[in-house]
Amino acid sequence: MVMDYAAIEKDVANLPVTPNMPDYEALCGSWSWDAIRAELARPDGLVNQAYECIDRHALGASRDKDAMIWEATDGSIERYTFEGMRKQSNRFAGVLKGLGVQKADRVFFFADRIPELYFAIFGTLKTGAIAAPLFSAFGPVPVAERVRRADGIGIVTTLRLLPKIEAIRDACPSIKWVMVIDRNGDPVAGQNLDYQQLMAASSDEFAIERTGSEDWSIMHFTSGTTGLPKGAAHVHEAVTGHYATGKYVLDLHPDDIYWCTADPGWVTGTSYGIFAPWSNGVTQVIYEGGFGSAKWFEIIQRHKVTVWYTAPTAIRMLMKAGTAIPQRFDTSSLRYCMSVGEPLNPEGVIWGQEAFGLAFHDNWWQTETGAIMIANYPCLPIRPGSMGKPFPGIEAAIIDDEFHEITEPMREGQLAVKHPWPSMMRTYWNDKERYDSRFKGEWYITGDRAKRDADGYFWFIGRDDDVINTAGHLVGPFEVESALIEHPAVAEAGVIGKPDPVAMEIVKAFVSLKDGYEPTEALRRELIGHARARLGPGVAPREIDFLPTLPKTRSGKIMRRLLKARELGLPEGDTSTLED
């Protein structure tokens, strides 16, 4: 990571609003998670993320405040108050109860960013069941794998996405029902449940399940080097971390209009697109559509967004489109911008200043950690290219291969975080062994490599495994290789992340063919089509190369690192285990 960019200094006294954390060192010194819990406390000591985000505000002074300003892709706008969301989520909770859903059952979501998705996730949390949202651009195979992994009991989807669910329904025997949201209000045909009809017959009132801090709440799937994705399971106590980081990293104030561009199919879209903003009682904008450079600035202008949380790939796409676009819009409402999910290059940090006068604040965390662990803050100078400093109450370190802390500045090692903290996952669903393997003593091993400078800023170096980060989404090579091998022409497949100037990495596959198949352009296209239909466009390889045979260890494991080194023209490293 580059360190030759000047630090961006702050004039904290003259920021448009006084940061909730005006002094980083002081807050670190006095930090108490219990004090945070006290800000959220319910008289009876129960914790429920839906209550903290919605009912707590609906039952108080913010009852009629807008919680959600939703903009559809067709430009129409809908607004929902905290009280409106309380009632809608109660109705959905009643619907689930009527279906017999029990505490800790897994309810899956496969839907676009529409208001009903948010009502339904909160409704699920109110019943004590586990909400498991999936990215709507997934193909049927990743959906089925995840549903099976966690024995999902039901799936909430939309009419548009229903065909993908119908394609896998028989392969998911745990699924008892599929519920379809049709925003047009037309009756849902066939054996599927009709969201609108069930909601109309349900009640505005619901007695929230008596969930405690360690009861399950949400599950997100994340990829590893080997095997299929794992379900990182979180508990209601995570809201303590979401609320605290919403207050001190997102710096949310009561009058903010906040916009997080992430999809709730990924953890950023729930921790920071649902729980952090709403536990802090702020109004948030939700845009149904995807990326669009002019469109995004139009949204900032129209809704007077003040705090914006987005991702490096999006920033790099905005950079490509140029500063002339933001300058056509009135972005004067913006006061604070952040980025997460992949390394944000210094040029990206600085581009915000050129384009609309504000630098991007990078921060770091993972599906597993549940909330932001390392961040840049409004009150601290930014060192462009650095992820920032640990959140108060969080101890992060660089450790060596023997799991000893490296104190010497700028020495590379594994990034580790001292366990525990409130938002940490409590297990990988049905895979405790894997969960346990992530810890060494008191350290949680993140799987990333990094270094720390003499002033305590952390600098990301890269991942310590074969997981691919494409446009901020993690893709496990094994999942892609498995889909490729299903094709009759493919003998072996090895999948790597190939560096890309915009998406950071793209998924690239190497395949060897079975006897009788020729490596033609037509077959390459067919394989790409095969993978896209099964996995969805964000997971399928963008490039496929044919090789006569793939490099393997003597025990038959494909050497992805060697494929990558050869692709990039880098030294091949230790090849002593390579088969002859």
Residue ranges in contact with ligand PRX by CB under 6 A: 222, 267-268, 340-343, 362-367, 387, 446-448, 460, 463, 469, 474
How far, in Å, CA of 281 to CA of 261, rounded?
A: 18
Chain centroid to Cα 524, Å, comes to 31
Q: Which is nearer to ligand PRX, 50 or 474 (CB)?
A: 474
How far, in Å, CA of 187 to CA of 54, rounded?
A: 29
Question: Angle at the Cα of 231 (from 230 to 232), degrees rounded to 5?
Answer: 110
* 252: Cβ contacts below 8 Å, ≥ 6 apart: 20, 246, 258, 276, 277, 280, 282, 307
CB of 242 to ligand PRX, least distance (A): 13
Q: Which is nearer to ligand PRX, 235 or 511 (CB)?
A: 235
How far, in Å, CA of 130 to CA of 121, rounded?
A: 9
Backbone angles phi, psi at 483, to 5 degrees: -65, -35
* 240: Cβ contacts below 8 Å, ≥ 6 apart: 33, 36, 37, 40, 213, 422, 423
CB of 463 to ligand PRX, least distance (A): 5
Q: Which is nearer to ligand PRX, 82 or 266 (CB)?
A: 266
| Both structure tokens of 443 | 């350290």
CB of 291 to ligand PRX, least distance (A): 17
Chain centroid to Cα 64, Å, comes to 29
Q: Which is nearer to ligand PRX, 444 or 546 (CB)?
A: 444
Determine the residue with CB nearest ligand PRX.
367
CB of 262 to ligand PRX, least distance (A): 8
* 313: Cβ contacts below 8 Å, ≥ 6 apart: 341, 342, 471, 472, 502, 503, 504
CB of 351 to ligand PRX, least distance (A): 16
The dihedral over CA atoms of 494, 495, 500, 502, expressed in degrees to the nearest 10, equals 160
| 293 C-beta neighbours (distance < 10 Å), count | 16
DSSP 8-state code for residue 36: H
8 A C-beta contact, residue 299 and residue 270: no
Q: Which is nearer to ligand PRX, 166 or 431 (CB)?
A: 431
The dihedral over CA atoms of 426, 430, 433, 439, expressed in degrees to the nearest 10, equals -20
Bridge partners, 470 (sequence order): 473
* 543: Cβ contacts below 8 Å, ≥ 6 apart: 498, 506, 507, 508, 509
